[in-house]
Amino acid sequence: MSDRRLTSPSPGQPQTCRAAVFHRAGQPLSMEAFPRPSLLAGEALVRIRLCTICGSDLHTLKGLRIEPTPSILAHEVVGEIVELADPRPTDVEGQPLEIGDRVTWSVCVSCFECDRCRSGMPQKCRHLVKYGHSVAAGREALSGGLAEYILLRRGTTIARLPAELPDEVASPINCATSTIAAAYRMAGDVFDQRILIFGAGMLGLTAVALGKESGAKQLTICDVDPQRLELAKRFGATDTISVESIGSLESSFDVILECSGSPDAIETACRVGDVGARVILVGSVMESRPVQLDPTGIVRKWMSIVGVHNYAPVDLRSAIDFISRCHHKYPFAELVARTFDLSETNSAIEFSIQHRPIRVAVRPAAVGSTL
């Protein structure tokens, strides 16, 4: 057993920490102090190095997505373990974690005991808790990334990160990258296949790069923003198409990844799927109008439509492997437009809403950059 393991805070460590707290849509976040929690078996306390603001966070801040309040938002996080309970948690490979490990972790906390977990869907656990989506109250208040520390509960899949992987590149791994890894797992083998991707945000750009690495022969991406379409070429897109031109699209595709959440895109995806096509719905995480589909066409083409929401531990492992191998080949490091201090969180949010970058980051002032 490591002599670096702690079961209680060492002298001199802070007993409170700051967090930016969300109370109501349209209102600024408030900086508040929270007590350092005592740990239970299997838990870890992590000092946050960096978090990035996801599109779902912006939806909550705008009131387009309803979350319980008060809450500490943000779930795309990289941190360093500062305290471990006894018995200590293990990483995704089953190895005991250590003080000082730089880690990321699953968005979901799962029980791994209910029928859904036992059937291979821990991401849909009947007792699911999600980081960045919980009430900031009580012992488990520190549950989001816009803070100095976060409490990792028992049932969290935790993964060590390679030292050479910058925080800014690693932070989205446990959201967008893992979600796309799950989407490709459901799509099956895409080698030498034609892929169409809707949406050139973090999900879509990651999907292009992972499709390229998986041997797809054609990677077409559709978006409303011409600058994002140009950026997609640097991630491996072979073709780009604007939303205005999608109605005239006559090509057929083997795999369609819908990352935008647009009902129009879903309808088009089912129209342009070839025989045996797999349509993977990823972006529809908020209410939208009902879609109109041609069931006869779907039946005659033997098409399959699969929804992907959250992801399993195997997808987190795949995502880390992919980014570790390939982040130098694609401009992932450029996707974080600016980095703000935690005290500047409201400025970070305003910048995100006004300028629509792929990502902005928030970093507690005491943590140095890995870049």
Residues 6+ apart with CB under 8 A from 234: 330, 331
Distances (CA, A) of 213 to 157, 191, 209, 223, 269: 25, 9, 6, 22, 23
Q: Name the nearest CA neighbour of 186 among 287, 94, 258, 268.
A: 258
pLDDT in tens, 21-79: 999 999 999 999 999 999 999 999 999 999 999 999 999 999 888 889 999 999 999 99
Give the integer Cα–Cα distance in Å for 201 and 196. Answer: 14
332-346 burial by CB neighbour count: b if 16+ within 10 A, else e? beebbeebbebebbb
Going by pLDDT thresholds of 50, 70 and 90, the confidence category of residue 228 is very high
Residue entry with tokens 């750009």: 205
pLDDT in tens, 322-335: 999 999 999 999 99
Question: Across residues 162-174, what is the average pLDDT?
Answer: 96
pLDDT in tens, 88-128: 999 999 999 999 999 999 999 999 999 999 999 999 999 99
Going by pLDDT thresholds of 50, 70 and 90, the confidence category of residue 264 is very high
pLDDT of amino acid 370? 36
Give the integer Cα–Cα distance in Å for 100 and 88. Answer: 14
Give the integer Cα–Cα distance in Å for 257 and 283. Answer: 9
Read off φ and ψ for residue 124, nearest 5 degrees. -125, 30
Q: Which two tokens stand for residue 342?
A: 């935690």
